């Protein structure tokens, strides 16, 4: 769609026609909250979905993608150092799978070369994907 205004108008005009339940999710928390507030104003029952939303609350939601040209710059930002090479992610998951207990980031660093990347961001992405989960101690 051409711009944000057209996407918002489409949502308002078609939301009642869509099956099941859905979650409002955008590339930023601020944008998610803006869309949610916009849709609640005319009476739609909607919920925001951000990185803080529990994984279980995201499953079974209907997905409708309405991308815009402005999203490209945000994706470029996300695609940079936040996402390491696949080999490094696989090695990290392998070390965690072989561990007999939770591992802290400092314990993982020497085993999978985490020092020169953004490990906290990586683990947030893996947690959202359900590949790892944060527990007390690691």
List pLDDT tens digits, range 104-128: 888 888 888 766 556 676 677 677 6
In the block, which residue shows the tokens 């799978």? 97
- Say how many C-beta atoms besides its own lie within 10 A of residue 66's C-beta: 14
The number of residues making up the chain comes to: 138
The pLDDT score that the predictor gives to residue 98 is: 92
- The answer to whether residues 132 and 96 touch, using CB atoms and an 8 Å cutoff, is yes
Q: Mention every residue, 6+ apart, whose C-beta is less than 8 A from residue 14.
A: none
Q: Once rounded to an integer, what is the mean pLDDT over residues 50-55?
A: 76
The chain-wide mean pLDDT, for the chain, equals 78
Model pTM above 0.75: no
pLDDT tops 60 at residue 82? no
Model confidence band, residue 131 (pLDDT cutoffs 50, 70, 90): confident
């Amino acid at each position: 769609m051409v711009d944000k205004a057209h996407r918002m108008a489409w949502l308002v005009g078609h939301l009642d026609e869509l099956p099941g339940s859905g979650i409002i999710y955008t590339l930023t928390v601020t944008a998610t909250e803006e869309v949610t507030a916009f849709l609640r104003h005319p009476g739609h029952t909607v919920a925001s979905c951000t990185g803080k939303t529990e994984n279980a609350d995201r499953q079974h939601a209907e997905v409708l993608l309405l991308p815009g040209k402005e999203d490209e710059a945000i994706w470029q930002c996300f695609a940079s150092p936040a996402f390491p090479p696949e080999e490094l992610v696989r090695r990290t998951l392998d070390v965690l799978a072989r561990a007999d207990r939770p591992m802290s980031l400092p314990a993982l660093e020497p085993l999978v070369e985490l020092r020169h990347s953004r490990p906290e961001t990586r683990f947030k992405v893996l947690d959202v994907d359900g590949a790892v989960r944060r527990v007390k101690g690691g």
